[in-house]
Structure 1
């Protein structure tokens, strides 16, 4: 997960609480450390605080609703998304290249419509005995061309209609009538008599293997009469027959029912049970519009770390966010009495009997030799005036 430190004040925040969080976050960033420091708040700001921030042109800190870990807090794996039309071979290649076991399938608008996994591909490929596979799966010609590295020698792509079966014409021409039917996809070597016979029998697509093929007049005439296609591939007949099933689109084998995907706002505690009850190694992470933002895997749950917080202007549990026990407290800066906060290890705890926490933070700027910007100095002064009742507080 990305290292983020939240600087947060107490519930029902006053001006000192909000301005302390903003100013201390600014100081931590200027001191460096390579960690993102974010000011936050618990609850709505009051009108006085709104006026101060508006005057010094500073944004209102984000609302911190919970310190429980959410999916969006993890360093998610990049999602390798695919179109439902790409071939199984392309999907397999992407999995090998990116060491991915799951590919989210998205539509043209980026919405999740399915998932294809390594096991989906391997199990389906091992069970591919349907010779009408290309027709059943509505495989586009482009997939076939890419899968077997073929070129279109004769015919028009729009005439491709793989409604028949796939077969290798290894028999003599006089025996082909027992095997070849109309609209079949026929694979054959550089044997002109077999090629001509296949087209005479109504093959929709003739695939010539070995790469050695010329546009013979008789072959061209028959193909044009039957509106058939002739493809040429450099692969041998065995390799071509083995690769052809890999041209089917992933939409034919992807999982579309009972999809297991997680929202970015889901808590990690909630997704554990879903992971335990399913077989997948990784899961898509989507937003409220079902757009994929990444992939979460089981190892993310093992390597999870707590959110990190710095408390300002309070150190009592009753004033903290309710899920404070889920977080790691790094520091406390306060001017109130010492409360009942407990930490798992020693922390930096600065507590002084001054009129405001902003006074302490202002001193920290000077102690570190850092000059606050005009806007930060402005909100610190405003918070001091507010919390000390215009310097009339007994702790001022």
Structure 2
């Protein structure tokens, strides 16, 4: 990241103060690699200066309001944003891939609506005891298919309504009536009698493990009659049962209330207390439209560097911006 150097003149700038800032900033840019010199001002320009700039088609230097460090001055970590509908497994994979501990969750317009942290996923996964988890979390079928690498062999996506519980049909068919209920998700191996019995008892989704299925006329007829779905996964029964909870959408466990996020214009002094009083390792950074621009972490505050300035056309503290003590003065050029 290039160092930004602000080249700025005195208060109530006249033409030579503005021109000195523009000229010296241009010289610095031409003479240094990795240097971004920006001409600035700490007051409104007068009519004479406006005429000169218009004549030579030069833009008015930026107004430097403060030299206090703001969030936008940091080298933020890139934000890995996600939709609230993606599965917990996908979110976990993204965290591993990008070495991220926090994922901002955005809506279709790119606005921040929540965050998911590594601890959210691990703690929630350890506490998952609801057997009707898919229904409670409104899990889409696509999440299930992707999570267990399954394919839909019988049924229609629109009929997926797993409002019952998740169970493994390890018992004999004559005992299944004590366990299987309407709209359950039933996991079983390639045992046709168990598959047929599960559909007769009203299972909404039948997941056949081991990668093989006998698509018999009876199984096809029952599934269509009951508006049930039959999925086939290459995983074994244990692995399938372990992965299914990871298919729930992140909206089920994300933090959306009392969300801690910072604006790009926030001063670092102001965000320190918020960071110290909350448990997160990193925080989303948004603009005024609540769109995510990056992630700020605690280590950014430790590695912060002062803004750099070059003063031109004066050498008096009284003519400097009021927050000059917050900056690192590289040069002073007067005449």
TM-score scaled by length of structure 2 = 0.99
Alpha carbons 2:2, 2:34 under 8 Å: kept:
no
Alpha carbons 1:2, 1:75 under 8 Å: kept:
no
Distance in 2 (CA, whole Å) between partners of 1:105 and 1:305 is 30
For residues 254-311 of structure 1, the C-alpha deviation after alignment (integer angstroms, 9 at most, x for no partner) is 0011100000000001111000000000000000010000000000000000000000
Q: Which has the larger radius of gyration?
A: 1
For residues 65-112 of structure 1, the C-alpha deviation after alignment (integer angstroms, 9 at most, x for no partner) is 000100000000000000000000000000000010000000000000
Alpha carbons 1:2, 1:73 under 8 Å: kept:
no
CA drift of 1:253 comes to 0.2
What secondary structure, in the 3-state scheme, does the structure 2 residue paired with 1:11 have? coil
Question: 1:258 maps to which residue?
Answer: 258
Distance in 2 (CA, whole Å) between partners of 1:247 and 1:178 is 27
CA drift of 1:214 comes to 3.0
What secondary structure, in the 3-state scheme, does the structure 2 residue paired with 1:10 have? coil
> Structure 1 unaligned runs (5+)?
335-396
For residues 216-245 of structure 1, the C-alpha deviation after alignment (integer angstroms, 9 at most, x for no partner) is 111000000000000000000000000000
- C-alpha RMSD of the superposition: 0.7
Distance in 2 (CA, whole Å) between partners of 1:223 and 1:34 is 66
Distance in 1 (CA, whole Å) between partners of 2:215 and 2:61 is 72
Alpha carbons 2:7, 2:40 under 8 Å: kept:
yes
For residues 107-163 of structure 1, the C-alpha deviation after alignment (integer angstroms, 9 at most, x for no partner) is 000000001100000000000000010000000000000000000010001100010
Alpha carbons 2:188, 2:208 under 8 Å: kept:
yes
What secondary structure, in the 3-state scheme, does the structure 1 residue paired with 2:83 have? coil
CA drift of 1:33 comes to 2.7
Question: 1:298 maps to which residue?
Answer: 298
Aligned length: 334
Distance in 2 (CA, whole Å) between partners of 1:282 and 1:32 is 34
Alpha carbons 1:282, 1:298 under 8 Å: kept:
yes
TM-score scaled by length of structure 1 = 0.84
What secondary structure, in the 3-state scheme, does the structure 2 residue paired with 1:109 have? coil
Deviates more, 1:24-33 or 1:263-272: 24-33
For residues 23-61 of structure 1, the C-alpha deviation after alignment (integer angstroms, 9 at most, x for no partner) is 001111111232111000001111100000000001000
Alpha carbons 1:169, 1:176 under 8 Å: kept:
yes
> Structure 2 unaligned runs (5+)?
none
| Displaced runs of 4 or more, over 4 A | none
Distance in 1 (CA, whole Å) between partners of 2:329 and 2:137 is 56
Distance in 1 (CA, whole Å) between partners of 2:191 and 2:165 is 20
Distance in 1 (CA, whole Å) between partners of 2:32 and 2:69 is 25
